[in-house]
Chain A
Amino acid sequence: MGSVRKFDSKPKINGSWKFLDDYQSEDMIYGNIIYSKCHHGIIKDIHFPNDFNISEFTFVYAKDIPGENIVPEPVSDQLFLAVNEVFHYGQPIIGVAHPNKVTLTNFIKKIKIDYEELPAIIDIKECLDNEKNHFGREITIDHRTRDEIQNSWIRHHNVYYMPHQEQAYLEPQGVIAEYDKQDGIIFVRITAQCPYYVKSGVESMMGSAVNDVVIETSEGIGGAFGGKEDFPSLLAGICSLLSYKSGKPVKIVLDREDDIKITTKRHPARIEIESYTDPATKKIEKIDIDYRLDAGAYQTLSPVVLARGVLHTAGGYGFPDSFIRGRLFRSNTPPNGAFRGFGAPQGFAAMEAHIDGIAAEMDITTIELRKANIFNNGDEFPTTQKVTEENLIDCFNKVLEISDYQKKLKSYAQWNKNHKDKKGIGVSLGFHGGGFTGNGEKTLNSEIKVVLEKNAEVKIFVANTDMGQGAHTTLAQMFCEAIDHPFEKTKVQLPNTSKTPNSGPTVASRTIYIIGNLLKQLALELKKKYKFDKLESYIIEHNSEFPLELRKNYIQPTSVFFDEESYRGIAYKDYSWAACVNEIYFHADTYQIELIESWNVLDIGRVVNEQIALGQAEGGILQGLAYGLSEFFYKPGFGRMSGFTDYTLPTTLDIPKIVIEFIHTDSVTAKGLGEIPMDFPAPALRNAFLNATGIIIDEYPLTPEVIYKTIKEQK
């Protein structure tokens, strides 16, 4: 396990690394979005303030769009700019630009739009509880194998609610678009995860009005976590049109308040689980899961989140009989989107809580119950995919060991007898499929490019971005280590769609797993073909053959087949596994849960760079803990939050000690790491609270207010 240092750390710390807003150019003007403040309505009138010189502003409306007024998405149903009707708060209506940032801001504040208000659904439960709000394709995974329910089996039935979660990347969304009239080219610089998504967004917007669209990311991408997967396409589209119309480079950087109010979030979910457990064997014989996501006003990429969600929600358990139904629900809120975990955190939050609920109802330990049901070699996923390893069991055993679980469990039970405050400890399991779901990687057909220069410098061209996860360091490292080439001479180039082939989006924990392993293969093939010992010496000896450009495409193994209709087959070739133990302290006077320690054991296969992997895991785990404990975005009756004053992220003083151990690190394959740390910590926290107090809460996050309400209602 190497621990090469990140090549970009120092310039990031000393402030010289350029993030989007750090790019300047002479005649650049500033743009912004005028968006709906109505949840659902018909636009009646737009009043501009009359103390501004309107001629100094550039405006773009839906009618000005030369291409199609549709943001390309898995389901392309979202408009760039509203036409007559708005379907959610935050829906863009007009793009506007002005040379002076302050003037622009003041102008926008004074614009008034009249609406004829129409009925709107903004409440999460109102949306998800009502079957009428279902829209889009329904997914079912039908693995029912028996008809009869035996009398002795114990039924456990519950509904779990999961909230929105805001990505809260510290660098807000931003883009600069520059239209070159001479060549008819739009150049877009953007803080985004997926340059090629942005490219198709701008192409859709501009249609045949331009000859070409080139997307390049900013040097620094200040966090993304999924939040910069699809929203940038919308932003870039509007910005490009502003540049096209004004003839000037236009920069849009969202203010934090706007960013929080109008961009995508993690989908709120309602998951209903009904299970039947045999008390003799403690085996869960039958399970039925109804998985619902609040997609917001448009489907956009929600069907993909739904797909991953239903494929993960049954947890790491070999159920002989299962039925899963997944649906999207419509509300009048901004479309929800990608966030680290992509439907899996909601699924595990419900499933892992359910497991502890069953154990509580049957009065057996959660450990016994998990041991009786956890994935064994030969078990099946609901998709009928066979489990071919027992690495989840290894994670589970290891985490119980390093957390000293059994001893703590006993001693806290004792302690709790004499104290008003309570101590508790809880467990959870998780897994995450690497890469795109099912045949997705086949369709993507990712391509990478490597150029070997005369001076033995290796330039790697991939469209995958480094948004802090260290991807560009780790990718270079994988190439180098395969053939023992110096790391200093290997560099991933800044993604630019005119130079970088489409190696797919930076999502789905696929960057190292798919692209990294592809680079490694390419390096090994190179070595085999040219039979060198050291690439450097080979290049010196055969200098005239260089520079040399190499390309390689990802080919999905034929063993991977997934039927998108029946949802049967191999959904993912490789899975990462994890188990977690969380310890909490419950303050009885204030109903607050304090996190004490979190132990996490992960199997992500080979660990390429241990420090980078640990950093990734720590960050993801903290996001997961906050998902369970404190982060929410909407409160019935009081609406949605508008900044970091309300949406409180954990500070240095709020975090527990986080212990992480990777196992099976000697595997050949480096599997996905990006998302799994987010998937599982929340339910272990909820289960720890149950262990501490005996109180069942089926709603996340476990804020002191929710806890107090539950206690009061139980009395």
Chain B
Amino acid sequence: MKIRFTLNGKNVVLESAPLKRLLDILREDYHLFGTKESCGEGECGACTVLLDGKPVTSCLVNAIHVNGKKVDTVEGLSKTKLGKMLIDCFDETNAVQCGFCFPGFFVSTYYYLLNDGDNDLEKIKKALSGNICRCTGYQRIFDSVKIACARKKVGE
């Protein structure tokens, strides 16, 4: 079937099987390799993208779900002002280790900053609880997000 959607701000049309995973569409059809596959069943968040502005695990979203919607991936979001600021925050604390989970953390945090952005540690933990990281102990990620929350407030 033909699906039409907005990908990182651009309107696109694609011929796809209706159940094809959004994750595969991004990687195979658009060569957007920032969205990663780790578990393929919603358990890790490495494949997180925004669907109509809300975070989803793209390994569980089908082509047909995407039709008529807006998809934002790490590639698009990282070029925005907010995205760049957030990347700086992660960078400053040397939070990143292997990095495989980070595009996912980036997207979840991006959503959190846009929709809440409160400095509260418990809220931050909750917002990131769908993203698994095996390398870090998460502490540095929390530190970075706190810095980002503060900077976003100042920027506003």
Contacts and interface: CB of A to CB of B under 8 A. Distances in A.
A208 B71 CA distance: 51
A221 B139 contact: no
Please classify the interface of chain A as helix (H, G, I), strand (E, B), loop, or mixed, using the class held by over half of its residues: loop
Interface in A1-39: 3, 5-6, 8-10, 12-19, 21-22, 24
B18 to A, nearest CB: 14
A469 B98 CA distance: 7
Contacts of A225: 134
B41 A644 contact: yes
A255 interface: yes
Contacts of B38: 170-172, 222, 256, 644
Interface string B98-140: 1111110010000000000000000011101111111111111
Contact of A19 (B36, B93, B135): B36
Given A22-B33, A170-B132, A618-B137, A644 B43 contact: yes
A643 B41 contact: yes
B96 A9 contact: yes
Given A14-B103, A220-B99, A645-B41, A3 B35 contact: no
A15 B32 contact: yes
Please classify the interface of chain B as helix (H, G, I), strand (E, B), loop, or mixed, using the class held by over half of its residues: loop
Given A171-B98, A469-B97, A14 B134 contact: no
Interface in A162-207: 167-172
B97 A15 contact: no
Nearest to B141: A652
B73 to A, nearest CB: 8
A13 B96 contact: yes
A170 B134 contact: yes
Interface string B73-88: 1110010000100010
Contacts of B132: 170, 644, 649, 651
A470 interface: yes
Contacts of B131: 652
Contacts of B128: 652
Interface stretch (A364-372, A520-528, A608-616, A699-707): A608-616
A644 B39 contact: yes
A18 to B, nearest CB: 7
A16 B87 CA distance: 13
Given A5-B91, A170-B46, A651-B132, A13 B99 contact: yes
A653 interface: yes
Contacts of B35: 15
Interface string B21-65: 000000100011111111111011010000000000000000000
Nearest to B32: A15
A168 B94 contact: no
A649 B32 CA distance: 27
Given A223-B100, A615-B94, A615-B95, A256 B39 contact: yes
A496 B152 CA distance: 42
Interface string A215-241: 000001111110000000000000000
B43 A653 contact: no
B74 A467 contact: no
Contacts of B99: 8-9, 12-13, 17, 220, 222, 468
A611 B97 CA distance: 11
A169 B91 contact: no
Interface string A294-312: 0000000000000000000
B137 A621 contact: yes
B39 A643 contact: yes
Given A171-B98, A649-B132, A14 B138 contact: no
B134 A649 contact: yes
A622 B137 contact: yes
Given A13-B106, A468-B98, A615-B95, A655 B39 contact: no
Contacts of A612: 94
Given A13-B103, A223-B98, A170 B133 contact: yes
Contacts of A467: 98
B91 A9 contact: yes
Given A470-B94, A622-B137, A644-B43, A16 B100 contact: no
Contact of A618 (B41, B125, B129, B136): B136
A619 interface: yes
A3 B140 CA distance: 14
B98 A6 contact: no
A224 B74 CA distance: 24
Contacts of A617: 137
B95 to A, nearest CB: 7
Given A169-B98, A171-B98, A222-B98, A13 B87 contact: yes
Contacts of A621: 137
Contacts of B32: 15
Nearest to B20: A102
B97 A468 contact: yes
Contacts of A17: 99
Contacts of B31: 24
Given A5-B91, A14-B87, A653-B126, A19 B136 contact: no
A617 B139 CA distance: 11
A644 B87 contact: no
A105 B81 CA distance: 41
A14 B94 contact: no
Contacts of A12: 96, 98-99, 102
A649 B125 CA distance: 15
A170 B98 contact: yes
A696 interface: no
A615 B97 contact: yes
Contact of A170 (B74, B91, B100, B142): B100
Nearest to A618: B137
A658 interface: yes
A652 B138 contact: yes
B39 to A, nearest CB: 4
A501 to B, nearest CB: 25
B100 A15 contact: no
Given A222-B36, A222-B99, A652-B124, 17 more contacts: A8-B99, A9-B96, A9-B99, A14-B83, A14-B103, A22-B33, A170-B100, A223-B97, A255-B40, A256-B40, A468-B97, A615-B135, A615-B137, A618-B136, A618-B138, A623-B134, A652-B126
Interface of B: 27, 31-41, 43-44, 46, 73-75, 78, 83, 87, 90-103, 106, 124-126, 128-142
11 contacts: A10-B91, A15-B74, A19-B33, A19-B36, A21-B33, A170-B100, A170-B134, A222-B38, A468-B99, A615-B136, A644-B132
Interface pairs A-B: 9 shortest CB-CB: A15-B34, A468-B98, A12-B99, A618-B137, A222-B100, A468-B97, A644-B43, A611-B94, A14-B78
